[in-house]
Amino acid sequence: MTETLTEARFIELADAYGAVVARWPEAVRADAMAMATRPAMQAVLVEAERLDTRLDLWTVEAPSAALRDRVISSHRTPLSRRARLWWSGIGIATALAGAVAGSVAASAALPSDHAVSDDATAFGDLSQQDS
Amino acid sequence: MSADDPDAGLVARIGRGDEVATRMFVGAKLPRILALARRMLGDAAEAEDVAQETFLRAWKQAARWQPGAARFDTWLHTVTLNLCRDRLRRRQETVMPELPEVVDPQPPADAMVDEAAQAGAVQRAIDALPERQREALLLVHYQDLTNIAAADAMEISVEALESLLSRGRRSLRATFAARDTRDD
Q: What is the pLDDT of residues B8-61, one digit of tens each?
A: 999 999 999 999 999 999 999 999 999 999 999 999 999 999 999 999 999 999
Of A82 and A38, the one with more pLDDT: A38
For residue range B81-117, what is the model confidence (pLDDT) as tens digits?
Answer: 999 999 999 988 876 555 555 555 565 566 667 888 8
Q: How far apart are CA A113 and CA A3, in angstroms?
A: 88
CB of A22 closer than 8 Å to CB of A28:
no
**Which residue among A59, A68, A75 places its CB closest to the CB of B59?**
A75
Q: List % helix, strand, coil for chain B (3-state, nearest 5).
A: 75, 0, 25
- pLDDT exceeds 90 at position B2: no
Contacts of A24 in chain B (CB under 8 A): 147
- Read off the pLDDT band of B4 (50, 70, 90): confident
Of A76 and A11, the one with more pLDDT: A11
A vs B, Cβ pairs < 8 A, gives 99
For residue range A15-59, what is the model confidence (pLDDT) as tens digits?
Answer: 999 999 999 999 999 999 999 999 999 999 999 999 999 999 999
Q: How far apart are CA B13 and CA B62, in angstroms?
A: 8
Q: Is residue A67 a part of any domain in this protein? A: no
CB contact under 8 A, B52 and A75: no
- Read off the pLDDT band of A83 (50, 70, 90): low
Give residue B153's pLDDT: 97
Range A62-68 average pLDDT: 98
Give residue A105's pLDDT: 44
Residues A11 and A50 in one domain: yes
Residues A44 and A82 in one domain: no
CB of A41 closer than 8 Å to CB of A35:
yes
Of B1 and A79, the one with more pLDDT: A79
For residue range B110-158, what is the model confidence (pLDDT) as tens digits?
Answer: 666 788 888 999 999 999 999 999 999 999 999 999 999 999 999 999 9
Q: How many domains does chain A have?
A: 2
Contacts of A68 in chain B (CB under 8 A): 26-27, 30
Give the residue among A2, A5, A1 at the shortest CA–CA distance from A31.
A5
Phi, psi angle pair for B65, to nearest 5°: -65, 125
CB contact under 8 A, A74 and B55: yes
Residue A23: closest C-alpha in chain B: B146
**Which residue among A51, A61, A67 places its CB closest to the CB of B172?**
A51
- pLDDT exceeds 80 at position B79: yes
Residue A121, SS3 per DSSP: strand
ipTM associated with this complex = 0.86
Give residue A106's pLDDT: 41
CATH class of domain segment(s) B1-99? mainly alpha
In terms of Cβ atoms closer than 10 Å to its own Cβ (0-12, 13-18, 19+), residue B34 is: buried
Domain ranges of chain B: 1-99, 106-184
- Read off the pLDDT band of A110 (50, 70, 90): very low
Give residue A130's pLDDT: 40
Print the domain residue range for A25: 7-55
- pLDDT exceeds 90 at position A102: no
List, in sequence order, every beta strand (DSSP E) within chain A. Answer: 120-121, 124-125
In terms of Cβ atoms closer than 10 Å to its own Cβ (0-12, 13-18, 19+), residue B57 is: middle
Amino acid in the structure at residue B147: N
Q: Residue A120: beta bridge partners?
A: A125
Give the CATH number of domain B106-184. Answer: 1.10.10.10
pTM of the model: 0.77
Give residue B78's pLDDT: 97
Residues A82 and A50 in one domain: no
- Read off the pLDDT band of A103 (50, 70, 90): very low
CB contact under 8 A, B59 and A23: no
Contacts of A81 in chain B (CB under 8 A): 17
Q: How far apart are CA A63 and CA B44, in angstroms?
A: 10
Residue A24, SS3 per DSSP: coil
Give residue B96's pLDDT: 56
DSSP state of B94: S
Give the residue among B76, B81, B82 at the shortest CA–CA distance from B60.
B76
CB contact under 8 A, A55 and B51: no
Q: How far apart are CA B155 and CA A43, in angstroms?
A: 33
Q: Is residue A2 a part of any domain in this protein? A: no
Residues sharing a CB contact under 8 Å with residue A23, sequence separation 6 or more, in sequence order: A17, B140, B141, B144, B146, B147
